[in-house]
Every structure is written in C-alpha cells, then in structure tokens.
Amino acid sequence: GDAKAGRAKAVSCQACHGLDGLSKLPDAPNLAGQVEPYLVKALTEFRNGTRKNEVMSVAAQELTDSDIANLAAYYSGIQIDVVPPG
C-alpha cells in the first residue's frame, strides 16, 4: 500500500479514527500503528459483510482494494511507543 495515498483517503476516516489514528469516539478503535495485515482484513471483512458495524459496513462499500491497501499502509505506518506495563 501507498501510505501517502492512504493519508489522502483517510479524510473519510478522521471524524472517528483521527488522521493521527487516535479514536475520537468510544466505539471507534485507535488505528495508529495497528498491524497492517489486520487492517486489510478488517476493512475487507466490513466490505464483504463478514464483519458488521453500523458505520463501517457502509463506509467500506466505497473502498477499492487499492484504497484498503493504502489506508492500511497509512495507519500502520504511524509510529507508536508503548510504555511497558509495570
């Protein structure tokens, strides 16, 4: 996927997931630094109906395979640092 193209496409995602990949709503997950193949799978499953969500089942309909690959590249590419639990 092309992260730069993904960032452009992510304007459609930002109200819930942020351009920074941090959730803006209690039901929306953070996407920053998320595992790339997991993101591809999630979006593909929302698009084909295997996974259902009021918002995402609709939003995913308009995504091409390239869009999905690009969005996954963008959000997975945001660097996160984890503070190890004590």
Binding site for its own copies (CB under 8 A): 7, 19-23, 26-30, 32-38, 41, 50-52, 74, 77-85
Residue type, 80: I
The CA distance from 49 to 57, in Å, is 7
Beta carbon nearer to its own copies, 63 or 73: 73
Beta carbon nearer to its own copies, 11 or 83: 83
Q: How far is the CB of 32 from its own copies (least distance, A)?
A: 5
Neighbours of 24 (CB within 10 A): 12
Q: How far is the CB of 20 from its own copies (least distance, A)?
A: 5
Q: How far is the CB of 15 from its own copies (least distance, A)?
A: 15
Residue type, 74: Y
**Nearest CA among 22, 26, 1 for reference residue 78:** 22
Beta carbon nearer to its own copies, 62 or 86: 86
Residue 75 in tokens: 């959000």
